[in-house]
Structure 1
Amino acid sequence: MMNKKDIDWDNLGFYAHETKSMFKAIYTAEKKWQVEGLIPYGNVSMSPASTILNYGQGIFEGTKAYRTSKDRVVGFRIEENAARFASSSERLCIPQLPEGLFLNAVQEVVKDNSDFLPTQEQGSLYIRPLAYGDGPMLGVKASDDYTFLVYATPVGSYFKSGLKMLDTILTDKYHRIATKSIGFAKAVGNYAGTLLPYKEITLEGFDEVIFLNSSDEGIIDEARSANVFVLKGNVLKTPALQGSILPGITRDSTIKVACELFDLEVYEEDVTVEDLLNADEVFFTGTAAVVAPAGSINYKNNKVQFETVYNASMTKKIREKLIDIQYENIEDPFGWVVPLG
């Protein structure tokens, strides 16, 4: 375990810091899910023939715990994470984990690692539940045995230089995921395919990449690990959940905040390349980044610079409203915040 005194709490970044403990449960066909409970944070072992290593049979979630202005430790819409975990499990042929076990595991990990929970100024405690097939299977089949883990790590800003207007590229070189595949699931393999595109665009000086839909390159899909929103006037649009789009929890929260607190017209529908390039504002949403603004979009060697100043933007208003709800700086009008401490 890393000593908390060795952590630079004012410059956490988005890295995996060792903490005190993690939660474990195992599944066998004979005994179903069996809880091992909290164990020391550390490496795990598995068969070299495990289905996670050979065939990518694994899923994960991401959520956060916050130390709020009311001196409470809370989570944000964690039941939605449990529901999405169940949906991802079904798609990857992983046995369903009882919702109560998922929620209890998150709470136990947060409580036992409370010494690693940053202040609001420093960041939050990022929580990573995951499940994977660890039984040996040489043929392309679902595993007989599975492991469920939950670990946590203190994090700061998702971006190395803190929040900024992101220079973004819209790529037609790669697709993120195939339509009618597993884009809606939080499957480990969905993210591996974005590593090379991201490596290439960062070498060109860009911060983020948006992918086109694999069935219709006239419409956009999402970014490498975030949903995309496009604002024009009073109309906010985001791609509909048609199978290749992850049903982001921050995405859904943004839709509700935009509609109910800022009176925007919000549409979940196809977002065309033209919509993207002619927008007043474009931003990304996700658990890690919350809401992050695009400063420009580059497409086929043409650059569109957004003229809206961030401090005067709707993006900033939505971001700050979500963060204020999460940290209990304002009353939660939606009932999203749940105590974890």
Structure 2
Amino acid sequence: MGCAFVPAAVPARGRHGLTARQTPTVRPRQAWAGGQPLAAPAHGGRLQATCREAAVMVATADEAAAAPQAVAAAAARLAVPPASKDLDWATLGFQFRPTNCYVRHTYRDGAWSTKPELVAEPYIKLHIGATALHYGASCFEGLKAFRTADGRVSLFRPDENAKRMASSAARLLIPEVPADLFLSACKAAVRENVEFVPPYGTGGSLYVRPLLFGSGPKIGLSPADEFTFLVLVTPVGDYYAGGPAPVTAIVTTDYDRAAPRGVGHVKCAGNYAADLLPNTLAKRAGYPINLYVDAADQRSVEEFGTSNFVGLIGNTYVTPDSPSVLPSVTNKTLATLAEDAGMVVERRTVDIGEVGEFEEVAACGTAVVITAVTRVVYKGDVITVGAGRGSDPEVVGPRFSELYKQVRGIQYGEIADPHGWCFDVYDE
């Protein structure tokens, strides 16, 4: 698939004191070894082959007798470019950092553009009447790309993010982004910024943010005629550089996250705007995360401000079943691994009074995978998770610790990926 390039109209020095980036150029998959670029292998210039394909090519060549060495050399030629040496990977944190470009597609005249634009300038020229600005016609996704133990760069479960964005789009009357276009755009965004994928072993990743919004003008309340789909990326560090630590959450009782039969089940921008005030108030009071209950009964647990609620009791993995809860890709991943380990998965109503009966409770999401929650404050009362069951509120529980390690191991290619969750960004 070809790409169109949009140059950055920026001064010689950017807003942040950085040298303005030049227009991106088409970069085939450059071969590297020992930190040095190598010549492309002589097979028609095709550099999309996997290492397994390289092995086949070598095995059928005249030098088959030296197969082990040749396979290693072929694998080196097909390795991805290394991470940049200009960033301090140990101190990244979770914040936006500029990269080379973002990928953009536009919907006009009833169809999505098939040729992606690579835009160097980190700004959007948007009509003042855009429905995203006036009516909140906007939804987004969040996923990550990882540099693996064997040198690949892979996206974790992008197919699930594509499905969820399609669901969000349908609720907001935005044209669905086809799954293949979604995946292609995410891969292209990672490839064009591959030097910003943190090195393996640092605990970092490249955060990938697909964004879909109404960019056409409408003054009356109606869907736009034009829409924009873009994918931006930024490198992020290990959220828990010192290892996961348990937190205390507070139940937000003065505000509701979502209305019954509203849009709580989709990832639209307005859901997060509504949480800005409650989340900020919780942090000012000393609580890093806040928990919401059902807007109607004010007792049934829904989810945390930016992540799902999950709990363990006996051999059962429990997560709330509510039409107002956003389906979490991380939650789905953890539930599958729990089932693989022989646990029973229950999706049901969870009363706030039941929280203390769980042996382990966690918030789960893309940014952190798992945040252990050992205390919950509800209307001034402190509920201790696992009280009387031998749980230590000062440490992360053993089973969520194990699930966390499994997810991270799969993401970094350290353990087997039996469900095929990792997508190599260079495989088309």
TM-score range, shorter-chain basis? over 0.9
Q: Name the aligned partner's letter for residue 324 of structure 1.
A: G
Matched, 1:42 2:127: no
Aligned partners of 2:238, 2:373: CA distance in 1, in Å?
16
Contact kept? 1:41, 1:151, Cα under 8 Å: no
Matched, 1:155 2:240: no
Larger deviation, residues 299-308 vs 225-234: 299-308
The structure with the largest alpha-carbon Rg is 2
SS of the counterpart of 1:163? coil
The corresponding residue for 1:130 is 211
Aligned partners of 2:203, 2:178: CA distance in 1, in Å?
33
In structure 2, relative to structure 1, the CA distance for the partners of 1:14 and 1:178 (3 Å cut) is same
Could you tell me which runs of 5 or more consecutive residues in structure 2 were left unpaired when the two chains were aligned.
1-13, 20-83, 386-390
Aligned partners of 1:91, 1:116: CA distance in 2, in Å?
34
TM-score by length of 1: 0.94
2:359 equivalent among 273, 280, 285: 280
Larger deviation, residues 128-137 vs 276-285: 276-285
1:215 equivalent among 296, 304, 315: 296
Q: Which structure has the higher relative contact order (CA within 8 Å, separation 6+)?
A: 1
Larger deviation, residues 143-152 vs 35-44: 35-44
Q: Name the aligned partner's letter for residue 101 of structure 2.
A: S
- Post-superposition Cα deviations, 1:145-179, rounded to whole Å, max 9, x if no partner, equal 11110010001144798632112111221111112
Aligned partners of 2:252, 2:218: CA distance in 1, in Å?
37
Q: Name the aligned partner's letter for residue 405 of structure 2.
A: E
Larger deviation, residues 160-169 vs 44-53: 160-169
- Post-superposition Cα deviations, 1:36-71, rounded to whole Å, max 9, x if no partner, equal 422214111212221111111001011110001111
Contact kept? 1:14, 1:159, Cα under 8 Å: no
Aligned partners of 2:303, 2:108: CA distance in 1, in Å?
36
In structure 2, relative to structure 1, the CA distance for the partners of 1:254 and 1:337 (3 Å cut) is same
1:331 equivalent among 392, 416, 419: 416
Aligned partners of 1:339, 1:41: CA distance in 2, in Å?
27
- Post-superposition Cα deviations, 1:103-141, rounded to whole Å, max 9, x if no partner, equal 110111111101000023240000001110011111111
CA RMSD of aligned residues (A): 1.9
Displaced runs of 4 or more, over 2 A: 1-8, 29-37, 157-163, 304-312
Aligned partners of 1:194, 1:332: CA distance in 2, in Å?
35
Aligned partners of 1:228, 1:331: CA distance in 2, in Å?
27
Matched, 1:194 2:275: yes
Question: Percent sequence identity over matched residues?
Answer: 33
The corresponding residue for 1:232 is 313
In structure 2, relative to structure 1, the CA distance for the partners of 1:41 and 1:285 (3 Å cut) is farther
Higher strand share: 1
Aligned length in residues:
339
Aligned partners of 1:300, 1:31: CA distance in 2, in Å?
51
Could you tell me which runs of 5 or more consecutive residues in structure 1 were left unpaired when the two chains were aligned.
none
The corresponding residue for 2:62 is none
TM-score by length of 2: 0.75
Contact kept? 1:67, 1:118, Cα under 8 Å: yes
Within 5 A, what are the aligned runs for 1:1-341? 7-29=87-109, 32-33=112-113, 35-120=115-200, 121-158=202-239, 163-240=244-321, 242-261=322-341, 263-306=342-385, 307-308=391-392, 310=395, 313-341=398-426
